[in-house]
Amino acid sequence: MQINTKLKNPGFLLFLFIFYLLFTLNVQAQSSSLLKLWYNQPANRWVEALPIGNGRLGAMVFGNPSQEKFQLNENTIWAGQPYRNDNPDAKEALPKVRQLIFAGKYKEAQDLVNRKFISRNSQGMPYQTVGNLDLSFPGHENFANYYRELNIETAVTSSRYDVDGVTYKREVFASFPDQVIILRITASKPGKINFTASMNRPAPVDISTEGNDKLIMSGVTGDCDSVKGAVKFQAQVKIITEGGSVSATNNNIIVNNANVATLYISIASSFKNYNDISANAGERANAYLQKALENDYEKALKEHIADYQRYFNRVSIDLGTTDSVKNPTDVRIEQFAKGNDPQLVALCFQFGRYLLISSSRPGGQPANLQGIWNDQLYPPWDSKYTVNINTEMNYWPSEITNLSEMKEPLIQMIRELSQTGKQTAKDMYGAEGWVLHHNTDIWRMNGPIDGSFWGMWPMGGAWFCQHLWEKYEFNGDSEYLKSVYPVMRSAVEFYLSFLVEEPQHKWLVVCPSVSPENSPAVHPESSIAAGTTMDNQLLFDLFTKTIKSAEILKTDKELVKKIKETLKRLPPMQIGQWGQLQEWMQDWDNENDKHRHVSHLYGLYPSSQISPYRTPELFSAAKTSLIARGDESTGWSMGWKVNLWARLLDGDHALKLITDQLTPSIQPRGRQKGGTYPNLFDAHPPFQIDGNFGFTAGVTEMLIQSHDGSIFVLPALPGIWKNGSIKGIRVRGGFEIESMEWENGEISKLVIKSNLGGNCRIRSYTKLRAEGKTSLKSAIGENQNPFYQTPRIKEPIISNKATLKDVKLKNTFIYDFETKPGEKYIFSKL
């Protein structure tokens, strides 16, 4: 037979051996650089272009040889100007709205809210694109050997191709130290670089040149609703070449016969803060540029990489590598569901961290619905801040994946909203404290928008305050806690004056409110409600965390007493007739409801009120609700469900959701669905960045959890991720999982560093033993570490029609050991 003859042939065997060597070498060569998105073709559409950013500046890079395009963003380019959008008519209508809700007249209540509460003057301002820098390279239409990548280990995107025997390369990065975007164009032969640079924006702008090598685009942001656009901005592009010539004609810059060209893109606006837009955009842009020009290219690149890696390198992950890594990224997304590509999960996990470092830096704006990347003037949902899930999800990975600094812009925004929201509380509800509804923008508007169905949700402040507390839980810095405590206290004050007694059980409830964007099947046309499950869960967290903060800071004794009394009167969670966790105060849930929001499961994740060990009935009910809600949904909804299945300790189901998320969003005939775009952007659709961040948080939550009294190692590992490791994850109480390795699904090595000292409690499916002098005791009773003391929730009310599904839990081992600040503790499998 042919095969046998071939195998006997020594020449063929040698060929096979060489082929094998080359193949393994190739895989090894790639494995040193697995943290890359790469493609064999330029980007045709925006969701194929590659994002770079330094928190303030962003660009989408297309890598097109003949028509290169940089779609540019700056995080303060928002339509409008300082404004407010409260509707003061609300105050008078509030008692009537409440009366209608308690009388079950939901449609009338919703109509009245639409007339009297929803903002009359503005539904929020859009975040806008700066515009584009276009480079046109004559004769580069026919190219060969094309390659394009985004290296998320260095935060540099590059492309290369051949034209007429010359290899051209482009390398682009957004530098935080230099505050500019830098592009370097090189060619393998001298004098071969020829292009024309121009700028444009899909709205009127002034374009001019300065000298022979500088392009300037100046503009003002757009109007929206009744608010006039007034943020001035300027983009400056300076081109420096080695060899050849640079000249300016007709508002274009032309480069001829250069050896190398370096472009510096500087953008600035007149925005100083949400209340002041009096800066000089041109002077600012020029100052950034002049400073950046002092640095030579190699040094700028080195400093950029060092700055980025200071954050990025804190965490590494290995879930295993298969043959799939030899495929370009777009192909891997297409094949993910059919094959086994755990490295793509690792890549997406790190891509979420890359996006957070690139879109949210101290001193800047928090990541909005699209981070900082948006090519439109009036993008979907204005690319602003939707705070009934989306903005919060953006920051889920921040503490756990060791990027605490990246949360600073969110914390600053919350501080500002607590100022602007005081007037909203007073003018709309005659209430104390501060309030935020379901959206905000760069102007920190707090009023309800978009219609009652979506906007009548006065809980934004309650959810945001969890993020203030969370930072303390991870870092233990009481000075920081002191600085944010007034914001938490003021949020509490709002609810203390806004809560109202409902007639049936005499519970204190938020009214009016909604369970975000969902309505019960019994009256699908109106979402308006009182005392929804999510409201009560959010208040439980806000109240208990504020009490804890006040106790730590030894302040506000009287207020603490009052909060404790109010806590007793909040509605408990309820388990309804089909064994589900009720979404509303009434048993209205429909088993066929597939709504993307899973608000009542907030108590399971991100909160930890629902626990397999402390509240098994609620745990079972939450699982029943989640199963009924289904898997496939919008991008962020699936991202949330990865976290929820991790909290339900079901790694295989969490991986199912990861698989749903990692399916191509763009389907045959151009239809789009929740999933992933070729550039790894998550698709609602359209692109929304929350899904990327939910993904990163979800993978972490599958591997390590720290709530519910202990650090749970490998709580929800999917069967298929047999061997792996993760390094640098942070957990509550100031501990860092310096490294965790597993083999055959079981922990093989665990290194924990303690930053704050105190008792460390570990829960594990694998029996552990300590190395060195550490004494590992079986844990009994409550964890003495204050960061792990969980407040007790009220007993749930269970419908007498409900049969609770039995949830089987795997046996775990729980250990305690005492730690000292700065010390490391090492464990292995017993």
Residues that bind ligand FUC (CB under 6 A): 369, 381, 386, 390, 517, 596-597, 634, 636, 684, 688
Task: Kindly state the smallest distance separating residue 467's Cβ from ligand FUC, in Å.
Answer: 18
Shortest Å distance, C-beta 370 to ligand FUC? 10
Report yes or no: 195 and 255 within 8 Å, Cβ to Cβ: yes
| Residue 709 CA: distances (Å) to CA of 88, 170, 210, 366, 472 | 45, 51, 63, 31, 17
Minimum distance from residue 677 beta carbon to ligand FUC (Å): 16
- Give the shortest CB-640-to-ligand FUC separation in angstroms: 11
| Distance of closest approach, residue 703 Cβ to ligand FUC, in angstroms | 27
Residue 213 vs 392, nearer CB to ligand FUC? 392
Q: Which residue has the tokens 């969670």?
A: 573
DSSP three-state, residue 100 = helix
Closer to ligand FUC at the Cβ: 596 or 763? 596
Distance in angstroms (rounded) separating the CA atoms of residues 516 and 389: 9
Residue 602's nearest CA partner among 788, 459, 413 is: 459
Cβ distance to ligand FUC smaller for residue 232 or 629: 629
From residue 554, how far is each of 527, 558, 559 by CA, in Å? Answer: 41, 12, 12
Please tell me the chain's helix, strand, coil percentages from 3-state DSSP, rounded to the nearest 5: 35, 25, 40
CA 321/CA 27 separation, integer angstroms: 10
| Residue 251 burial class via C-beta count within 10 angstroms: exposed 0-12, middle 13-18, buried 19 and up | middle
Rounded to the nearest whole angstrom, what is the least distance from the CB of residue 633 to ligand FUC in the complex? 9
Name the region of 757 (left: φ>0; alpha: ψ -120 to 50; beta: rest). Answer: left
Strands (E) in 176-294, as ranges, are 180-187, 193-200, 206-210, 214-220, 232-242, 245-249, 252-258, 260-269
Shortest-Cβ-distance residue relative to ligand FUC: 386
Nearest-approach distance from CB 461 to ligand FUC, in angstroms: 18
Q: Minimum CB separation from ligand FUC for residue 47, in Å?
A: 17
Helix (H, G, I), strand (E, B) or coil at 28: helix
The first and second tokens of residue 543, run together, are 């109240």
Whose Cβ is closer to ligand FUC: residue 149's or residue 517's?
517
Q: How far is the CB of 281 from ligand FUC (least distance, A)?
A: 29
Considering beta carbons, is residue 517 or 589 the nearer one to ligand FUC? 517
Q: How far is the CB of 415 from ligand FUC (least distance, A)?
A: 23
355, 351, 352: which is closest to 34 by C-alpha?
351
Q: Identify which of residues 39 and 385 has a Cβ nearer to ligand FUC in the complex.
A: 385
Give, for 69, the enclosing helix (H) or strand (E).
Answer: strand 67-74
Nearest distance, CB of residue 518 and ligand FUC, angstroms: 9
Q: Angle at the Cα of 601 (from 595 to 607), degrees rounded to 5?
A: 145
Closest CA to 167 of 153, 182, 188, 198: 188
Residues 240/172, Cβ–Cβ less than 8 Å? no
Closest Cα partner for 537 from 457, 462, 484? 462
**What letter does residue 794 receive in the DSSP assignment?**
P
DSSP state of 78: B
Q: Which is nearer to ligand FUC, 385 or 584 (CB)?
A: 385
Residue (596 or 647) nearer to ligand FUC, CB: 596
The distance of closest approach from Cβ of residue 399 to ligand FUC in the complex, given in angstroms and rounded to an integer, is 23
Nearer Cβ to ligand FUC (496/514): 514
Closer residue to ligand FUC, CB minimum distance, 596 or 732 = 596
Nearer to ligand FUC, 369 or 654 (CB): 369
Considering the complex, state which of residue 386 and residue 692 has its C-beta at the smaller distance from ligand FUC: 386
